[in-house]
């Protein structure tokens, strides 16, 4: 029970609590007449307006005294009366990173938690594995391993595993990337022990029967065929293979079709024995207390035996060493024979390392290949640059689809460990882009450069968007576009113009403070909105601990974004687009270009643009290392 009384401009709130009353003289109180009148409506014969028509019958002071006396009588057997003022208290501004804790178990497994409470919790296991660490014998196995997750184990049949997943009622998944295998889930808080038990079961004790392997190989074959028919899915994959030819990040994320016949249970077990080691594992919890997380991790992963010689990935912040292969060594490999693996992939009809007037397939020098798996874990990614021309796309059978030509242009960018990674991300947001049609109508990004300067100016451009792929020791930054057939040359010029404009000191196309501030705000908004998802928060925690060894707080990231200036973005743009990025692998600085022409629906023969023409257009805009 509480009263609301008016004292001048301040509101007095009278609350009841077991504490003794404050020993102070009561202030002069003016009653809240509306509240008081409601307490006086004992019958229809005692109207409220009588207080106003007969003011002499009762004074305001006596009304307040009676109200207080009644309140004391009613609360005599409950709680004593105290008086407090209603005040607004500033919320505590805490960075969620203050709730982060990391513990390393004796066997090397790292436990990371962010105990931000909520109705759902996240549990994830992150393994230092992926296609960049595959040698020739294991090529494509990562793709099959992630598809074998949540199948039969030593304690569960496949049906029991499926029932266990359904009973949890959350979002559980396994995914592979170039640098990690991720087992993740978002479930109810009460289901965390069962979730980590299920994840540990499928990670540590899978049966991996021959039947299961064959089923997943068949599924992978269908998946590969579907992806090859979709340029927007396959071209980014081929772009990596051209940019990092025959090494690390250039290894295919999808299992090559000709490799499916060589993958069996024994090969998968070899893959597991190489990568599934405690020192390569991070177990992350979001929304769970750290002590409970450590206890659960010790229960399910604490008995894993640590290997005597750690083959874990070196720190991404390490400086270049003598073991890093120089650009000249890779360029000398131009004289070697044609790479058998790349020659089997459809579409590799024109591939080079961006050397002037050269369009040949050249493999990695065999003398640079080291069979020791430790060398694969520590080998820096070497950016080569390259050009790839895919077979012409046929006219779509669906009348609702239009024939398109696709162009991707990329340059080596900064790794995730770089201090300038925030400027690089802001550049991507500033370029923005999208498609000529959006089912949801106009949205954020309509004032980005690729919208205003490309999509709004050229009706023959179907889509144009900036991309940014960041890895532990390298990255790719560029523009992907789709246009009408026969306009590829013009499209290359438009894309190069937009990239070159970011490097200018002055003039109308140069960077302006207003658009930089807008891009910074959009980037921070996107960051904060994405972290509202429990799965995104979980993956962010697990991968950051895996890569950096710590969690970079969202407040720290936002502060670094806010501190960026126009000069910072211009400096980073020049570094990337002029080929001056110097990562651990000492890349060539050459551009990477992937083109797939589309057939003209009228039947007109379209001449493919030669690599020499593409090179001359890019050089005209002073992009890449000259």
The CA distance from 135 to 126, in Å, is 21
Q: Is 394 exposed, middle or buried (0-12, 13-18, 19+ CB in 10 A)?
A: exposed
CA distances from 546 to 11, 185, 270, 305, 318 (A): 54, 18, 23, 19, 15
* pLDDT greater than 80 at residue 174: yes
* pLDDT greater than 90 at residue 596: yes
429-454 average pLDDT score:
79
Highest mean pLDDT among 320-329, 352-361, 554-563: 554-563
* pLDDT greater than 80 at residue 368: no
The CA distance from 461 to 435, in Å, is 9
Is 576 in contact with 589 (CB distance < 8 Å)? no
For the four alpha carbons of 330, 332, 334 and 337, in that order, the dihedral sign comes to negative
Q: Is 21 exposed, middle or buried (0-12, 13-18, 19+ CB in 10 A)?
A: exposed
State residue 475's pLDDT score. 98
| Helix (H) / strand (E) containing 496 | helix 488-501
The CA distance from 249 to 82, in Å, is 69
At 99, the pLDDT band (50, 70, 90 cuts) reads: confident
State residue 248's pLDDT score. 96
Query: For 525-577, how does the pLDDT look when each residue is reduced to its tens digit (9 = 90+)?
Result: 999 999 999 999 999 999 999 999 999 999 999 999 999 999 999 999 999 99
* pLDDT greater than 80 at residue 370: no
The CA distance from 112 to 131, in Å, is 25
3-state DSSP assignment of residue 452: helix
Closest by CA to 581, choosing from 592, 593, 565, is 592
At 604, the pLDDT band (50, 70, 90 cuts) reads: confident
Is 445 in contact with 434 (CB distance < 8 Å)? yes
The separation between the first and the last C-alpha atoms of the chain, rounded to the nearest angstrom, is 80
Chain position carrying tokens 């290894």:
251
CA distances from 321 to 372, 421, 445 (A): 18, 22, 41
Contacts of 80 (CB under 8 A, 6+ apart): 16, 17, 18, 19, 20, 21
The CA distance from 125 to 229, in Å, is 33
* pLDDT greater than 80 at residue 144: yes
Largest CA distance in the chain: 112
Contacts of 469 (CB under 8 A, 6+ apart): 240, 413, 475, 476, 477
State residue 82's pLDDT score. 52
| Helix (H) / strand (E) containing 474 | none
Q: What is the mean pLDDT of the chain?
A: 81
Is 195 in contact with 212 (CB distance < 8 Å)? no
* pLDDT greater than 90 at residue 142: yes
311-327 average pLDDT score:
39
At 67, the pLDDT band (50, 70, 90 cuts) reads: low
CATH of domain 324-626: 3.30.830.10
Per-residue HEC secondary structure of 259-308 comes to HHHHCCHHHHHHHHHHHCCHHHEEEEEECCCHHHHHHHHHHHHCCCCCCC
Is 340 or 572 the better-scoring residue by pLDDT? Answer: 572
Query: For 18-63, how does the pLDDT look when each residue is reduced to its tens digit (9 = 90+)?
Result: 444 444 444 444 444 444 444 444 444 443 344 344 444 445 666 6
Query: For 308-317, how does the pLDDT look when each residue is reduced to its tens digit (9 = 90+)?
Result: 654 444 443 4
203-208 average pLDDT score:
98
State residue 470's pLDDT score. 97
At 186, the pLDDT band (50, 70, 90 cuts) reads: very high
Q: Give the lowest-confidence range in 161-165, 311-315, 455-459, 491-495.
A: 311-315
| Helix (H) / strand (E) containing 102 | strand 100-104
The CA distance from 595 to 438, in Å, is 24
Helix and strand counts by DSSP (H, E) for the chain = 21, 16
Query: For 477-531, how does the pLDDT look when each residue is reduced to its tens digit (9 = 90+)?
Result: 999 999 999 999 999 999 999 999 999 999 999 999 999 999 999 999 999 999 9
390-396 average pLDDT score:
91
Q: Give the lowest-confidence range in 282-291, 383-392, 397-406.
A: 397-406
3-state DSSP assignment of residue 611: helix
pTM score of the predicted model = 0.77
Q: Hey, which residues does 480 pair with through a beta bridge?
A: 408, 465
251-260 average pLDDT score:
94
CA distances from 615 to 340, 450, 497, 509, 573 (A): 26, 22, 14, 23, 20
Q: Is 439 exposed, middle or buried (0-12, 13-18, 19+ CB in 10 A)?
A: exposed
CA distances from 415 to 73, 130, 131, 420, 585 (A): 72, 17, 18, 9, 11
Domain ranges for the chain: 3-85, 91-307, 324-626
* pLDDT greater than 80 at residue 367: no
Same-fold call for 91-307 versus 324-626: yes
269-280 average pLDDT score:
97
Contacts of 279 (CB under 8 A, 6+ apart): 107, 108, 109, 306, 307, 310, 312
CATH of domain 91-307: 3.30.830.10
């Amino acid at each position: 029970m509480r009263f609301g009384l008016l004292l001048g401009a301040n509101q007095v709130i009278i609350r009841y609590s077991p504490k003794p009353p404050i020993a102070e003289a009561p202030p002069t109180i003016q009653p809240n007449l509306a509240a008081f009148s409601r307490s006086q409506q004992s019958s229809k014969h005692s109207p409220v307006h009588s207080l106003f028509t007969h003011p002499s019958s009762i004074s305001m002071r006596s009304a307040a005294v009676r109200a207080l006396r009644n309140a004391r009588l009613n609360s005599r057997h409950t709680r004593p009366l105290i008086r407090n003022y209603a005040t607004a208290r500033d919320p505590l501004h805490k960075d969620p990173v203050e709730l982060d804790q990391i513990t390393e178990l004796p066997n090397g497994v790292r436990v990371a938690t962010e105990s931000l409470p909520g109705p759902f919790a996240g549990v994830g296991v992150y393994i230092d594995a992926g296609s960049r660490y595959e040698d020739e014998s294991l090529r494509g196995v990562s793709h099959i391993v992630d598809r074998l997750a949540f199948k039969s184990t030593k304690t569960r049949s496949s049906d029991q595993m499926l029932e266990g997943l359904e009973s949890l009622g959350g979002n559980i998944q396994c995914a592979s990337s170039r640098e990690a295998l991720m087992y993740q889930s978002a479930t109810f808080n009460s289901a965390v022990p069962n979730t980590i038990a299920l994840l540990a079961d499928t990670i540590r004790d899978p049966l991996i029967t021959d039947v299961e392997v064959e089923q997943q190989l068949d599924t992978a074959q269908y998946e590969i065929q579907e992806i090859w028919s979709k340029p927007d899915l396959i071209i980014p994959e081929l772009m990596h293979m051209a940019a990092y030819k025959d090494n690390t990040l250039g290894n295919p994320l999808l299992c090559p079709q000709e490799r499916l016949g060589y993958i069996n249970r024994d090969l998968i077990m070899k893959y597991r024995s190489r990568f599934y080691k405690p020192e390569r594992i991070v177990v992350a919890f979001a929304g769970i207390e750290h002590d409970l997380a450590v206890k659960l991790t010790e229960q399910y992963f604490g008995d894993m035996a640590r290997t005597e010689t750690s083959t874990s990935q070196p720190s991404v912040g390490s400086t270049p060493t003598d073991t890093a292969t120089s650009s000249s060594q890779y360029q000398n490999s131009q004289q070697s024979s044609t790479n058998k693996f790349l020659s089997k992939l459809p579409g590799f009809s024109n591939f080079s390392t961006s050397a002037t007037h050269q369009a040949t397939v050249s493999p990695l020098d065999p003398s640079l290949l080291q069979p020791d798996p430790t060398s694969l874990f520590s080998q820096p990614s070497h950016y080569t640059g390259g050009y790839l021309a895919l077979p012409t796309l046929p006219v779509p059978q669906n009348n609702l689809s239009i024939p398109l030509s696709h162009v991707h242009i990329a340059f080596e960018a900064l790794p995730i460990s770089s201090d300038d990674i925030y400027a690089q991300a802001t550049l991507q947001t500033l370029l923005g882009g999208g498609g000529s049609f959006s089912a949801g109508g106009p949205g954020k990004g309509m004032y980005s450069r690729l919208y205003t300067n490309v999509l709004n100016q050229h009706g023959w451009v179907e889509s144009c968007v900036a991309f940014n792929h960041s890895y532990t020791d390298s990255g790719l930054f560029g523009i992907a576009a789709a246009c009408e057939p026969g306009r590829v040359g013009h499209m290359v010029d438009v894309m190069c113009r937009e990239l070159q404009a970011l490097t200018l000191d002055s003039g109308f196309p140069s960077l302006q403070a207003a658009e930089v501030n807008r891009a910074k705000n959009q980037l921070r908004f996107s960051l904060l909105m994405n972290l509202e998802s429990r799965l995104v928060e979980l993956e962010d925690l697990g991968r950051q601990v895996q890569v950096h060894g710590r969690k970079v707080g969202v407040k720290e990231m936002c502060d670094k974004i806010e501190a960026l200036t126009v000069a910072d973005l211009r400096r980073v743009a020049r570094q990337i687009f002029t080929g001056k990025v110097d990562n651990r692998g000492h890349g060539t600085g050459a551009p990477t270009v992937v083109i797939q022409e589309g057939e003209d629906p009228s039947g007109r023969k379209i001449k493919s643009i030669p690599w020499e023409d593409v090179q001359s257009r890019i050089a005209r805009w002073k992009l890449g290392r000259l």
